[in-house]
Structure 1
């Protein structure tokens, strides 16, 4: 069978991480994603650090399986070419600041003139309206404004901390990909397209609500200040490294007591119930740490596994690559990028039983598919060459594709 999104064409005007990650996920699932870039340099991440063969890891990791067309959208001919592509598309995705796409002459009204049933997707930082709508946005700003940095600190009274990965950017990409497939499904039923709008701020606040906003859930009465769950995390230092242990219920607590050979903890009044163990979490974690540090990670993991206590080693990023479970999942794949050389990447997390895995195509060179895509739209070879000569498009390979 074909890939789940085979036959879906997506016009992608996004840059950086959130939008490109969303469209790469869809490209991995079979959609034809046409990345539209400025001939003057393209997506900013092409020039990010950690480069090999002139290609950055960031660009490779967010743009595989895509085609690239380089169009100068400030020129009427460039906008006309884009509209010809939109007329053949199912989805149009952009992540400019609110209002920019309209000022470019590529707002929803203009797009629907050529593609009435188009699904248009607008990704913003803070939202379409409001006092922050026109502000520049980066991941740390969203972590701060959303409350995520305070959640990460463990208490409202402690110094806020950033999550050490760009969670708002990446989670917005995942959310956008899910919303696009939902809109495509709705169009299959109704025959009508729609405009999907989402922001990084909305994404993170919605994400936090399922587990971190309990004290803000009940509206009536005063909202108590968020108290600290614990000033320690669930990472334990052993004599030879670090491990993590997570114990949630009475059965697991009793199993932990057996694994650590501390029967006296079963009668400790601080730990008799799950509620009491939570109230006395710092004391409980300190006791566990005092025992865990007396022997090696290998010793404790074996004992914990024997008693069926949820546990795992804490690995570095490099160590993770060779862990037996990661290997068993066949998650990591090596392939050769035409410029970057041998590349290692993680496949999409979802696997489809009825869809065979397709070979990956490396992230495209800037404008790599310009000529072929415009020829498909009805431009003649001379027309395309004239646009190249005028700087309206960039096409590094001058031969027809």
Structure 2
């Protein structure tokens, strides 16, 4: 076998430039995590099963397999279509992992073991590998082998019940794959911490990031409340967050989000209304604690008051008084938000196959090593031949893998491998 080529660089100066990530994830949770690593400069090699990541098919698209959910969770990556159920496909994966820094997967650990890609197998070929799994449940309990999706975990972690409670309705879901994204961010945090530890120890390690436990900790940090104490001081729940009146308020011509929260803000609000004497006379308004005890009544009164003027009038008044408020955007008006327009949050790119696309800027701002997208979301198997060449595979070996159906995304035509 030929010597390996040096690793391709991510964006110049990217904070994770020089790191190699094997991405064995699909749908959203894992791809969201690895996209963040890619935006930060890591070389992310996305291994897709034959036929590709199913999320390629979600939403409207110009070309089959390049839907918007896929495009927005898989930039800054290279795609290799590889049959890991084939023994040769497994050997290819192990070879790619020999000099990798991180491997992220989001199928159940039991499936990884059946593929011969459990941590023990990967550690044997690369003791320094950070092996991170994002899946449904911790592996030390009775749910270990159960499947999980965002909706299920929203219900299991008490979130769906509290959404219903706050609306006075049956349990409901948040209209966002928030469990996937929160767990994905937790995985990035864990991986980066493990990389730091590896600098001291020189050793890799296995990290499990389960959706259920991650979300229980996330939700109950707000809502454990009096259940934090033994014996409990109440039945749990953060009253303000659960108030049915905590919602965008109707104004004379639309809706407005406003949060009058601190003592200073409430005084400023009553001053705007010319009713400061009422504030001083109302025992409910004496402190954050007393307001919390009467939050439903207070929010209901706020709602009635805000209905008396237009959204623009209230925004002007609130901003002059330094009271937090914002309009309620929808999927059309968000693109005209003056702050996002001024900061250039929404950009444009021309994808090699999908044409003009709207892009979302990396939200954090860095003084030197700014993360950014450095690769358009890949076509299925677009980089298979390229990645295998870098791993030391000769042209005839790659051709054999293609002919055997182990490596997809390329076809043999007139003696050349051509990306589809």
- Same fold at TM > 0.5: yes
My pick for the range that moved more, 112-121 or 258-267, is 258-267
- 2:157 alignment partner in structure 1: 146
- 1:178 alignment partner in structure 2: 189
Q: Is contact 1:69-1:366 (8 Å) kept? A: yes
- 2:230 alignment partner in structure 1: 219
**C-alpha displacement of 1:223:** 5.4
- 2:262 alignment partner in structure 1: 249
C-alpha separation in 2, matches of 1:317 and 1:264: 42
**C-alpha displacement of 1:356:** 4.9
**C-alpha displacement of 1:378:** 1.9
Q: Which digits, 9 at most, give the CA deviation of each residue in 1:151-204, with x for residues without a partner?
A: 323469863221121111110111111111111111112111111111111111
Residue 339 (str. 1) matches residue 348 (str. 2):
no
C-alpha separation in 1, matches of 2:274 and 2:340: 31
My pick for the range that moved more, 317-326 or 214-223, is 214-223
My pick for the range that moved more, 133-142 or 258-267, is 258-267
- 2:55 alignment partner in structure 1: 45
C-alpha separation in 2, matches of 1:240 and 1:347: 32
Change (3 A) 1:356 1:198: closer
My pick for the range that moved more, 77-86 or 320-329, is 320-329
Residue 210 (str. 1) matches residue 224 (str. 2):
no
SS in 2 for 1:239: coil
Q: Is contact 1:270-1:277 (8 Å) kept? A: yes
Q: 1:237 aligns with which of 240, 247, 250?
A: 250
- 1:365 alignment partner in structure 2: 379
C-alpha separation in 2, matches of 1:350 and 1:162: 28
Q: Is contact 1:243-1:297 (8 Å) kept? A: yes
Residue 396 (str. 1) matches residue 410 (str. 2):
yes
SS in 1 for 2:183: helix
**C-alpha displacement of 1:301:** 0.8
SS in 2 for 1:59: helix
Structure 1 unpaired stretches of 5+: none
Q: Which digits, 9 at most, give the CA deviation of each residue in 1:117-161, with x for residues without a partner?
A: 111011111222433222221111101111112232346986322
- 1:99 alignment partner in structure 2: 110
Measured on the aligned residues, the alpha-carbon RMSD in Å equals 2.1
Q: Is contact 1:367-1:395 (8 Å) kept? A: yes
Which residues of 2 match residues 282-321 of structure 1 at below 5 A? 282-321=296-335
TM-score, normalisation: structure 2: 0.90
My pick for the range that moved more, 55-64 or 106-115, is 106-115
- 1:25 alignment partner in structure 2: 36
Which residues of 2 match residues 82-93 of structure 1 at below 5 A? 82-93=93-104
SS in 2 for 1:364: coil
Q: Is contact 2:362-2:372 (8 Å) kept? A: no
- 2:19 alignment partner in structure 1: 8
Q: How many residues align?
A: 400
My pick for the range that moved more, 273-282 or 29-38, is 273-282
Q: Is contact 1:14-1:20 (8 Å) kept? A: yes
- 1:66 alignment partner in structure 2: 77
Residue 262 (str. 1) matches residue 272 (str. 2):
no
C-alpha separation in 1, matches of 2:168 and 2:238: 8
**C-alpha displacement of 1:400:** 7.2
My pick for the range that moved more, 188-197 or 221-230, is 221-230
Structure 2 unpaired stretches of 5+: 1-11
Q: Is contact 1:53-1:341 (8 Å) kept? A: no
**C-alpha displacement of 1:296:** 0.7
SS in 2 for 1:109: helix
My pick for the range that moved more, 265-274 or 47-56, is 265-274
SS in 2 for 1:52: coil
Residue 108 (str. 1) matches residue 119 (str. 2):
yes
SS in 1 for 2:14: coil
Residue 274 (str. 1) matches residue 288 (str. 2):
yes
SS in 1 for 2:332: helix
